[in-house]
Amino acid sequence: MTTHVSLHPLPNHAWRLTGRRRTAEEPTLPAHRPSRPTGLERFNALPADEAERALLSCCGSHRWARRVAEHRPYPDLDSLLAASDEASYDLTCGDISEALACESLTLLPEGAYSAAHMALGAAHAAYESRFGHVFVICLDDTAPEESPDLVLAEIRARLANDPDEERTRTAEELRRLAKGRLTRLLLGARGTAQSSCL
């Protein structure tokens, strides 16, 4: 729960202990304004259930969210991301399935041709038919206009994987997605970088 503190600056006629008014020559002490807490400080201070809910927006595995929340407080973002990685590496097949169930397909950028929609739709259908879950890929370092071609190429390449190999690759993409989402959640970053599945 976030607490809002209202600060009222001291009036210029602040009284000294003697009760007399400050003269014009006497300096006025600046009002103390505490620094605004960072996203990490707010995250560290959240009750456990709220922290877990916030984390579930980064990765849909309850076990992952619980593990990351339990290790608070984190001294810095790097420590939090390291804990995220560690929890991601320990995901079981059930945890991965739970996280994948929370992923959804992202719409193509505006202006994409209907042929691109058809090609990606067919590729997604073939992938889901083969592996039984949605295709996920982290696109944090990809320009939005390049995303459709990259996703289509990756789906086609990964269709050649055997199920165990693809499960490993999917877990890695979920780990990368979680880190990117967690970073943006705490830094409050806004941008067009896509970090979900297409």
* Interval 138-180: pLDDT, tens: 999 888 888 888 999 999 999 999 999 999 999 999 999 999 9
**119 has pLDDT over 80:** yes
Task: Name the nearest CA neighbour of 127 among 107, 99, 151.
Answer: 151
CA neighbours closer than 13 Å in the CB half-sphere of residue 41: 6
Task: Name the nearest CA neighbour of 136 among 186, 45, 128, 29.
Answer: 128
Tell me the CA distances in angstroms from 54 to 39, 43, 66, 165, 191, one per residue in order. 12, 9, 11, 30, 19
pLDDT at 65: 98
The amino acid at residue 184 is R
Give the CATH superfamily of 39-187.
Answer: Oxo-4-hydroxy-4-carboxy-5-ureidoimidazoline decarboxylase (1.10.3330.10)
Looking at every residue in the chain, the average pLDDT score rounds to: 80
Top-confidence residue, 79 or 11: 79
What are residue 105's DSSP bridge partners?
A: 197
Considering Cα of 89, then 91, then 93, then 95, what sign does the dihedral take?
A: negative
Inter-residue contact 192 to 117 (CB < 8 Å): no
pLDDT at 116: 75
> 131: which residues sit within 8 A by CB, 6+ positions away?
163, 166, 170
Q: What is the mean pLDDT of residues 5-20?
A: 36
**34 has pLDDT over 70:** no
Q: What is the mean pLDDT of residues 94-117?
A: 79
**194 has pLDDT over 70:** no
**32 has pLDDT over 70:** no
**197 has pLDDT over 60:** no
Secondary structure class of 197 (helix, strand, coil): strand
Q: What is the mean pLDDT of residues 126-142?
A: 94
pLDDT at 97: 96
Structure token digits, residue 124: 């997604």
Q: What is the mean pLDDT of residues 39-59?
A: 95
Q: How confident is the model at residue 64 (pLDDT cuts 50, 70, 90)?
A: very high
Task: Give dist(CA 78, CA 65) in Å, integer.
Answer: 17
> 91: which residues sit within 8 A by CB, 6+ positions away?
61, 63, 64, 99, 171, 174
Inter-residue contact 109 to 144 (CB < 8 Å): yes
Distance of CA 139 to the CA centre of its chain: 13
